[in-house]
Amino acid sequence: MQLTLRQAAQARAGQTQRPCVAPLRGLRPLARSASPLQPSTSSLSSSSPLARAPSSASPLRPGQPSRNARIGSRVVPQGIDPLAVGLFFAPGLAALVYAYFRGKGNMTDGLSHLLTEVSQGYFQPDVGGKNIPVSQGELSDLAGDEPLFKALYGWFMQYGGVYKLAFGPKAFIVISDPVVVRHIMKDNAFNYDKGVLAEILEPIMGKGLIPADLETWKVRRRAVVPAFHRQYYDAMVEMFGRCTERSVAHLDWEITAGKGKATVDMEQEFLSLGLDIIGLGVFNFDFGSINKQSPVIKAVYGVLKEAEHRSTFYLPYWNLPLADVLVPRQRAFRADLAVINQCLDDLIRRAKDTRVEEDPEVLQNRDYSKLKDPSLLRFLVDMRGEDVTNKQLRDDLMTMLIAGHETTAAVLTWTLFALVQAPEAEARVLEEIDRVVGDRTPTLDDLKAMPYLRACLGESLRLYPQPPILIRRALGEDVLPGGLKGDPNGYPIGKGADLFISVWNLHRSPYLWKDPDVFRPERFFEANSNPDFGGQWAGYRPDAVTGGQALYPNEVASDFAFIPFGGGPRKCVGDQFAMFEATVAAAMLLRRFSFKLAVPVEKVGMATGATIHTANGLPMTVTRRVPPGGSPAPQQEAKVPAAV
Ligand code: HEM
């Protein structure tokens, strides 16, 4: 957690390339939760400050002084104190002494407190937020079974919708209030960039849309958005159906081999399906991962794993000289990246060799049913006036490959997980699928006719947002609104302030949702509001979904209480792609197969990286389904088709 002196000096000098210290520490892989569907604050580890908080501590009392609130208002001394320098050379001893005097007897937390209290202000630029309630994290909380996003929920209940979380010398402002989120994502969106996330992702995604600087982002966003148009979606929905047929054939094959039933890790199945779909949709490359392994697939998983590792590691050791030569996992990462880059470069070269330059409107009106290559890459290369470099195209493709793969697979994983535990919802959704689609491959019109299935997918994203935390860094001064029961004058923050937007907290907030931990898709058909916001939050309005342009519940209908795809100018460009994909796959698989959890619910667990995935896979017992009054859906050929 500690900064080196050089990093500290840089930070004090206000350099933007500040060190990436433990920002995503809580997005740890392999942290497990015992109650995946309905986690509650009571599941916080006993070492958590919340667990020790007096039971009378009521939610949303932002004025309530925290045991560390005084840090925020302390006069900050300038310059590097020799004492602090000395402590860097004897942190263990100092931590022990400190822990002893605080009666904590825990060296890690002692070190954390020590660094917080000694170095806060020495090594941090002044990022304001002095009147924000402060909660101090314990390193031991993060090392325990609890992922950080769940711990953030506990502190939200204690400190309110805007609070500061101090870990060691670093502080993050945690936002769980829709009024404040709307301000950051929409009203003053360009005052924020992706901060530490961009630093982590830049070596992988280069100047792709997620980590890109503002200038590059503006140009690329303008180019990429028109590529997602009506004809493209029609072609994609067909392709989703063809790819899902492979999964159907694969499950059929497993069931036949298992003489009528099979145990299948459905999370892995969805990951393979998601990879095949994103490869075809973005650059017309068939990974064929449901049926085979290949060096490119191996490399993609390797790079995804490294992205996750980097987002959860304290120190950016990979930036050290020779780290990519000396550290085996960094060597492997370089090799994986080279394999993917080679594959993408070949695809880009081929697309450029066959370029037919056209205006975007002409490209959008091509007959997609006759196109051999309907991919985004084709569109981006053919667009008139877009003489984009190969490197930029590669960054765009890599970004969409990573952003669109695990996320969509996770939606399917958690939807299935939730549905098999909610018999009424499952029966209702099956009735809808049988009635609307039957054994056909769904079309875009079918998706429009299945509101309950769409609500189930939305509900899964509410309970398991991907990712559970969004990251921002202030590019200039701002005043955050106080939000529900916060400071009516707002919270002034300075350049460099790091923010966590807790999507998990928003989506499970008892101030925004009834029975927030319960899987209840019907909620998206009911209006909802909270007068305590004094009119600042417009509530959830179902007519803005069904009567408006949107098919799925979103940030507009919920006034930023439901933000599975973000909102404002940085909103996900692939939201419709992902939701159509998930709807097609869910309809086809639920229609043909019956699923039952093959392990006790608590064995599934939760692990987080960039997304929330299961800790141990999603083993399901799969059998062929007999629809009411019908015979089993026609069995697919056991031989899996090689190409779509
Ligand atoms: C269920 C699946 C998905 C989820 C939950 C999801 C979620 C998100 C979220 C929350 C953001 C905003 C991040 C922020 O504000 O910091 C985002 C951005 C983005 N997503 Fe997605 N996404 C999904 C699928 C996809 C797909 C399929 C693609 C591409 C085909 C994609 C491409 C992108 C890109 C390029 C951005 C950056 C947009 C920008 O900054 O301009 N995503 N996504």
Predicted confidence at residue 168, as pLDDT, reads: 64
| All residues at 6 or more sequence positions from 258 whose CB lies less than 8 Å from its CB, including other chains | none
d(CA 347, CA 341): 10
Q: What is the pLDDT of residues 436-486, one digit of tens each?
A: 998 899 999 999 999 999 999 999 999 999 989 999 999 999 999 999 999
Spell out which residues line ligand 1, taking CB within 6 angstroms: 209-210, 221, 282, 399-400, 403-404, 407-408, 411, 466, 470, 564-566, 570, 572-574, 577-578
Any bridge partners for residue 594, and if so which?
623
pLDDT of residue 256: 96
> In the listed set 95, 123, 151, which residue is the last one of a domain according to the structure?
123
**How many angstroms separate the most distant Cα atoms in the chain?**
81
Ligand 1 atom closest to 582 (CA): 1
Do the Cβ atoms of 302 and 8 come closer than 8 Å? no
Q: Are residues 115 and 233 in the same domain?
A: no
- In 3D, which of 446, 399, 381 has the Cα closest to residue 238? 446
Q: Kindly give the distance from the C-alpha atom of residue 467 to the centroid of ligand 1, in angstroms, as a whole number.
A: 9
In this prediction, residue 396 carries a pLDDT of: 95
- Please state, in angstroms and rounded to a whole number, the distance separating the CA atoms of residues 77 and 303: 43
Q: Is residue 12 part of a domain?
A: no
What is the DSSP code (8-state) at residue 128? B
For residues 252 and 401, state if they share a domain. yes
Quote the CA–CA distance of 300 and 57 in Å, as a whole number.
Answer: 47
According to DSSP, the β-strands at 478-480 and 593-597 are unpaired
Q: Rounded to the nearest whole angstrom, what is the distance from the C-alpha of residue 566 to the centroid of ligand 1?
A: 8
**243/108 same-domain check:** no
CA distances from 25 to 154, 196, 296 (A): 17, 12, 29
Are 252 and 391 in a shared domain? yes
Dist. CA 503 → ligand 1 center (Å): 14
ipTM of predicted assembly, 2 dp = 0.99
Structural tokens at position 587? 């309809």
Cβ atoms within 10 Å, residue 575 = 16
In a domain, 292, yes or no: yes
Cα–Cα distance measured from residue 271 to residue 410, given in angstroms and rounded to the nearest whole number: 8
Q: Is 343 annotated as a binding residue?
A: no
Q: Ligand 1: distance of its center to the CA of 311 in Å?
A: 17
pLDDT of residue 144: 55
Measured CA to CA, the distance from residue 90 to residue 79 in angstroms comes to: 20
Does residue 51 lie in a domain region? no
Catalogue the long-range contacts made by 232-235 (C-beta closer than 8 Å, 24 or more residues apart). 232/364, 232/368, 232/374, 232/376, 232/379, 233/444, 233/576, 233/577, 233/580, 234/368, 234/369, 234/444, 235/368, 235/369, 235/371, 235/374
Q: Decide which of 123, 152, 173 is a domain's last residue.
A: 123
Q: Which atom of ligand 1 is nearest to the CA of 411?
A: 1
Residue bearing the CA closest to ligand 1, atom 17 = 572
Flag whether 163 is in a domain: no
Nearest atom of ligand 1 to the alpha carbon of 569? 41
Distance 612 CA to ligand 1 centre (A): 15
- Of ligand 1's listed atoms, the one at least distance from the Cα of 221 is 41
Predicted pLDDT at 361: 87
| Burial of residue 44, with CB atoms counted within 10 A of its CB: 0-12 exposed, 13-18 middle, 19 or more buried | buried
518 falls within a domain: no
**Ligand 1 atom nearest 228 alpha carbon:** 30
State which ligand 1 atom lies nearest to the alpha carbon of 376: 30
Are 432 and 457 a contacting pair, CB within 8 Å? no
Rounded to the nearest angstrom, the distance between the alpha carbon of 53 and the centre of ligand 1 is 37
How far away, in angstroms, is 340 Cα from ligand 1 center? 20
Atom number, ligand 1, closest to the C-alpha of residue 581 = 27
pTM of the model: 0.81
Identify whether 267 is part of a domain: yes
| 182-227 per-position pLDDT tens digit | 999 999 999 999 988 888 888 889 999 999 999 999 999 999 999 9
Q: Residues 397, 273: one domain?
A: yes
Domain of 400: which CATH number? 1.10.630.10
Residues 114 and 231 in one domain: no
The verdict on 419 and 270 lying in the same domain is yes
Give a yes or no: residue 108 inside a domain: yes
If you measure from the C-alpha of residue 564 to the centroid of ligand 1, how many angstroms do you get, rounded to a whole number? 9
| Nearest-CA residue for atom 16 of ligand 1 | 470
- SS3 at position 546: helix
Q: Give every residue of the chain whose pLDDT is below 70, as ranges.
A: 1-125, 137-146, 168-169, 311-315, 546-549, 629-644
In ligand 1, the atom with minimum distance to the C-alpha of 465 is 5
User: Does a structural domain hold residue 367?
Assistant: yes
| Domain assignment of residue 104, given as a range | 82-123
Spacing, Cα 572 to ligand 1 middle (Å):
4
Q: Is the dihedral of CA 184, 190, 195, 199 positive or negative?
A: positive
Separation CA 300–CA 337 (nearest Å):
8
Cα–Cα distance, 574 to 227 (Å, whole number):
10
324 and 457 share one domain: yes
> Alpha carbon of 83 to those of 333, 338, 429, 490: distances in Å?
40, 46, 64, 36
Residues 333 and 460 in one domain: yes
Domains held by the chain: number: 2
C-alpha of residue 399 to centroid of ligand 1, in Å: 9
Pocket test for ligand 1, best of 396, 572, 611 (most atoms within 8 A of CB): 572
Last residue of a domain, one of 61, 91, 123: 123
